[in-house]
Amino acid sequence: MHRRFAFLASVLLVFLAAGPSSGQTPQDLVDQVSQAQYTDYQVTLQNMGLGLYGGPAYDQGYRNRYNTGGPALESLGFKEANLYLTETFTALSPNLVVSTQGSYKNVIAELPGTDPDPAVRDRIYILSGHYDHPAGNVDAPGGDDNASGTAAVLEAARIMSQFQFRSTVRFIAWGGEEGWMLGSKEYVADVVMANGETIGGMLNLDMILHPRMDNVTGGGVLDLDVSTKLDVPGAAALYDTFAAAAAAYAPSLLLDTRNPQTDDWYPSDQGAFLEMGYPGLMIAENNATEIWGGSMAGYHTAADASDRAEGAHYDYAWATEVVKATVGAVAGQAQVVPEPATMALLALGGLAAVAGRKRR
């Protein structure tokens, strides 16, 4: 009897030593990032306002996602995008808790943490991008700004929602960013601060599809700019984590040698977190000063679409590498939970049954 169970235990240890079968490391998640799926999300978002997703009730005759003026001035395209994001997040996984929050209709998809320790479970990691566009009542698809970042959030959620994490992960599509971070400021005040939440890190993706610099001969170096406020506790460590993830999971992705940059830490939604002392990163094709200076010539114009002038310089493969680095970073920080060693348990049960039959 003793020898039989000792043998069974040794078999179990052999299986456990080999590790869980799949889905246990950030690499397993990164390997599922799809350029085709990312592209589909991005193109769908840039086409909002034509009723192609929501039907004739959302057809305003041109592409646009304006909501800077708040609910009274939301374009049909913004409303269609809100519908699309809500329904897409909901369809991804029953593990996601999906809601719309605030005056500017931030769309939140939360993947609750599973660790028994509340200090770990309730630590929150945010992966976000804004889905609004500033131009009102005009043709402005916003393919790069910021269908590109919001599509990355959807692609990350598609993959990560199939797994469990020790800490909580929130995927957020912000409204009102173009009015100077209206939606994210409201969220920080009314949700994060009001509830005393712990933010482990906030990674914000804003314009990741046009790494070429239109105002530089030859297009410049195709590298990724990351900005933060280094005197915020945890901000430097968060950047180091992201840089390490980029090196490990997207080795072809060049990071700007000036990173982490500090001059443009505020523009975009990470600014709403950083100014209140929560660690965050702005992840973009170029920094805000460069974008405002013409690095993307079609910025805030009708040309910013895959089927317009700037589309010739869209780089979907490069953007997919950015998604990989981001998924790897968040999966590592939130700590993806290994799958149970199902094979080992089945083996142990089978051997125990055989031993039992022999005993009889």
> Per residue in 139-192, pLDDT tens?
999 999 999 999 999 999 999 999 999 999 999 999 999 999 999 999 999 999
pLDDT at position 340 is 63
Q: Residues 162, 147: contact at Cβ < 8 Å?
A: no
Given a cut of 80, whether residue 135 has pLDDT beyond it is no
Give the helix/strand (H/E) hosting 284.
strand 280-284
Given a cut of 70, whether residue 133 has pLDDT beyond it is yes
Coil vs helix vs strand at 329: helix
Alpha carbon 138 to chain centroid, angstroms: 28
* Among 82, 63, 186, 81, CA closest to 136: 63
Task: Show me where the domains of the chain are located.
Answer: 1-21+339-360, 22-338
pLDDT at position 343 is 33
pLDDT at position 356 is 42
Q: Which residue has the tokens 């410049």?
A: 220
Residues 10-62: tens digit of each pLDDT: 433 433 333 333 448 999 999 999 999 999 999 999 999 999 999 999 999 99
Determine what percent of the chain is predicted with pLDDT higher than 70: 88
Q: What is the dihedral of CA 61, 65, 70, 71, to 10 degrees?
A: 50
* Residue 94, φ and ψ in degrees, nearest 5: -70, -10
Which CATH code, of 3.40.50.2300, 3.40.630.10, 1.10.640.10, 1.10.3720.10, is assigned to 22-338? 3.40.630.10
**Please, where are the H alpha helices in the chain?**
2-18, 26-30, 35-46, 76-92, 118-121, 149-160, 182-187, 235-249, 270-274, 288-290, 316-334, 342-359
Given a cut of 60, whether residue 357 has pLDDT beyond it is no
State how far the Cα of 272 lies from the Cα of 186, in Å rounded to an integer.
9
Least confident piece of the model among 13-27, 203-217, 313-327? 13-27
pLDDT at position 105 is 97
What separation in angstroms does the CA of 358 have from each of 300, 346, 352, 354?
Answer: 76, 19, 10, 6
* Other C-beta atoms lying within 10 Å of the C-beta of residue 37: 17
Given a cut of 80, whether residue 295 has pLDDT beyond it is yes
4-11 mean pLDDT = 39
Given a cut of 70, whether residue 294 has pLDDT beyond it is yes
pLDDT at position 68 is 86
206-229 mean pLDDT = 97
Enter the tokens of residue 335. Answer: 């700590």
Residues 222-235: tens digit of each pLDDT: 999 999 999 999 99
Contacts of 229 (CB under 8 A, 6+ apart): 235, 262, 265, 266, 274, 275, 280
Alpha carbon 328 to chain centroid, angstroms: 10
Q: For residue 89, which amino acid is it?
A: F
56-78 mean pLDDT = 93
Enter the tokens of residue 67. Answer: 């909501």
Residues 275-291: tens digit of each pLDDT: 999 999 999 999 999 99
Residues 193-207: tens digit of each pLDDT: 999 999 999 999 999
pTM equals: 0.89
pLDDT at position 312 is 97
**If you write DSSP's letter for every residue of 181-197 in order, what string do you get?**
SHHHHHHIIIIIITTT-
118-122 mean pLDDT = 98
pLDDT at position 113 is 98
Enter the tokens of residue 111. Answer: 């993947």
340-359 mean pLDDT = 41
